[in-house]
Structure formats: structure tokens, C-alpha cells
Amino acid sequence: MRFISGLDESPTAPLKHLHRSTVLPFRRLFRELPLDADPRSLRQQLREFCPASPGVYAYLDGGRVIYVGVSSKLRKRLITYFQGGASVRKEHAVAGQATKLMWQVVGHEFVAQLRELELIRRCQPRLNVRGRWPGRPLGYIYLSKEDAPRFRVARRVPKGVRYYWGPMPMGWRIRDAVELVNQVFKLCDCPSSVPMHFADQRNLFAMDLRLECLRGETGSCLGPCAAHCTFTDYSKQLSAARAFLNGRDDAALTELEHRLAAAAARQHFEQAARLRDKLDSLRTLADRLERLRKPAAPSEFIYPLTIGRREVWLYVARGAVAASSSAPVASAPSASVVSRRCVERLDSVYDARISQTDDADRLGAQIVSSWFYTRPGEAANILSPDEARKFCQTFNSRP
């Protein structure tokens, strides 16, 4: 067992660039463990040398990082890679391809998540998926302009559309949830080429109308293609769906919960499983839309943290952490020097020209947003750039 410092120039430090960090303003040692012993011995060494603290870890095959991970309790997490059981097959696959394990104690769960993303981007480990490529493309949910409007998903909002929600990452979960909204509120999903005939629509000639799809037969569509509903009835369903997407009415979730409980009580487990999946899908969509309506934190702020005995400032710009530095502390003899450095960092990070030209770090912004969304109390600790400058001036004005 040995330490690797950020200044190690020996061949035993296979990737010196691992030690550079935007989110850590000071050096943190990596500890390495060769994976040439039996699993029982490796578990014992981890119990002895690895702390139960937040940090990141990397598996190496020779001199190349093949996997990067993060944990709020490093010791417990790393031991799972050398235990038996079907629940840790992924861990066995990763450890089985590695010759060395390295870990770095970060000291704070939020910084550890940022550090993991930083290492994945830097090392491009082949066994990682998250962080290696740009995130899911952004898109919008919108209410289409058709004879029988329905909710659709697109990269850009079509011209003339009045109601839309976004932008947000458009993965398959959101796309499936939007289709489910159309089903739950019994909205039509026929192709645009299918003509609509509402019951209150006058026709010159009598028409033999039939439902165009199975949804109409099963009652999950109002059937505007076959005059099974009036335009007023259809509009009421559209209004109810918009109220759900706007967060004003969760009756659809409540009804699904009641149906799920009733199916479970009757021991109709297959039906209950389908209802559970629908409920989870709609809750995910509602949660994403709630985050759009009520951001957990502003896009530019300073987040003070305590890491061990060190006071740190994280500089958040465009929603993501752009830099870090030691924070000025009144009791420190070098407080005035540190405060001047903080002012320089504030000027460089929050330069208006940079804010206008740089692309947003979407994956980093998701980490920041999720952190403050799940811990709303942390928003009370943040500082605006102006508040941080005023705080630094109190040190620079002292004799």
C-alpha cells in the first residue's frame, strides 16, 4: 500500500494528470492497491487502509484508467468489488479486468460527484458511460397544432405553437412519459393525415365513421376520428393535461395510485405492475417539470464548503462549477492574500464576455441542480458574486 502525491514524477504514477482538479483547490493524495492478491486479502487491506469517507476511485489496466466511480463511503463501496454474490456481477467484471486500484479521499459528497465527472472526462475510461459523451440532447414538450391536438416532443418548438415546456434532456423516459400523458388523458395519437370528425361537427353528407386504432376500442382515446366525442369534451381533456404539466393538478397521479392499490388488493399483480410503471413514469416527468419551474439555485453563485479543516469556495457559473479556491478565513494570517485571490477568481469566472460565449456544462449543471434540489436547505448558504466581493473587501480594507 502506498501513496501517490500530485507532484510524483516517478514511473509509479501512471497518470499524473489525475491529480489536477478544478473542484479541489488543494492537493489530495491518491492511494493505490495492486490487485495481485486473493479477494480476502484485498478486502482486509481495504478495511485497514481505506476510510469510510466520500471520495472517488479508479481501476487501472496497466497504465490506463478503465473505470472511475464515486462513493460517499469509499471503504464499503470498494469492498463490494471483491465479494461474492450475483448482486455484484458488474463489480466483478470491472475488478477482473484491472491490475490496480486507486482512490482519492475528497471529504465531501458533492465535491466527490464533481470530481468523478472530471476524471471521467479527462481519462475517458472505456467501462464508463456517463460523462464520456455529451448528455442527452435537449428538447421540448409541446402541444401540437392539429385538428385534435396532442403532446409531442421535438428538438425545437415548431412555429406557431402556443404551449410548450422545456428545454430538458430528452431521453427515452421523457418520451415514453409524454406518450403516456396522451393515453392517460385520452388524447388522440393518430397520424396527422387521419381526418378528425368531432360529434358536434356538422357534415353535409352522412359518413360511415370507424375508429382508426385499438386505443379507441379500449377506451384510452376519446375517438375524435370517429365522432365519439365533441370538441368541447376533447378541449376539457387538453386543459386537464396542461394543468398536470404545469403542476397545478395531480389528480392523474392520485387516480393511478388508487387503481394500483385496488389491483394489488385484488392480487392482480400483472395489472398492478403496469400501473406502477405508469405511475413512476408520470412522477418522473412531473419532477423534471417541477425543476424547470422552480430552480433549486440561481445560475451564478458561490457555494462555501468545509472539507476537512479547510474552507473552500466553489464558483458556480451557468449552473455548473467552473472553479474553486480556498476561502478567506478571518483567523488565518494570510486572509488578505487569499481574499485578493478570491477577487481575481470572481473577476475571471463571472466575466460577462465569457458568460455569453461559453457553452453550458450540462452534466455538471445536472449535478449542481440535483444537489440543491434534494437538499433545499443548502441554498441558504450560498453567496452571490457581489456578496462574495463585499466579503473579500472586509479583509483587504484591514490595516
What's the domain count of the chain?
3
Name the pTM for this structure: 0.76
Q: Mean of the per-residue pLDDT values for the chain? A: 86
Q: Which residues pair with 317 in a beta bridge?
A: 320
The answer to whether residue 337 sits within a structural domain is: yes
Spatial distance between the Cα atoms of 13 and 285, rounded to a whole number of angstroms: 45
Sheet holding 310-317, edge to edge: 301-307, 310-317, 320-326
The widest CA-to-CA distance across the chain, in whole angstroms, is 94
End residue of a domain, out of 61, 89, 123: 123
The answer to whether residue 267 sits within a structural domain is: yes
The answer to whether residue 128 sits within a structural domain is: no
The CATH number for 104's domain is 3.40.1440.10
Spatial distance between the Cα atoms of 301 and 151, rounded to a whole number of angstroms: 36
Is a pLDDT exceeding 60 seen at residue 13? no
Sign of CA dihedral 153, 155, 160, 163: positive
- Map 127-177 to HEC letters: CCCCCCCCCCCEEEEEECCCCCCCEEEECCCCCCCCCEEEEEECCHHHHHH
**Is the domain of 305 the same as that of 252?**
no
End residue of a domain, out of 94, 123, 152: 123
**Is the domain of 281 the same as that of 149?**
yes
**Is the domain of 208 the same as that of 325?**
no
Per the CB < 8 A criterion, the answer to whether 33 and 45 are in contact is yes
**Is the domain of 194 the same as that of 317?**
no
End residue of a domain, out of 75, 94, 123: 123
Helix (H, G, I), strand (E, B) or coil at 305: strand
**Is the domain of 161 the same as that of 258?**
yes
Q: Using a CB cutoff of 8 Å and minimum separation of 24, what contacts does 135-138 make?
A: 135/169, 135/362, 135/363, 135/366, 136/169, 136/170, 136/171, 137/169, 137/170, 138/166, 138/167, 138/168, 138/169, 138/170, 138/362
pLDDT in tens, 86-121: 566 888 889 999 999 999 999 999 999 999 999 998
pLDDT in tens, 293-348: 888 888 899 999 999 889 999 999 988 999 999 999 877 677 888 999 999 999 99
The answer to whether residue 115 sits within a structural domain is: yes
Spatial distance between the Cα atoms of 120 and 133, rounded to a whole number of angstroms: 10
- Residue 18 is predicted with a pLDDT of 74
Spatial distance between the Cα atoms of 350 and 345, rounded to a whole number of angstroms: 8
- Domain span including residue 46: 2-123
- Residue 16 is predicted with a pLDDT of 61
The answer to whether residue 198 sits within a structural domain is: yes
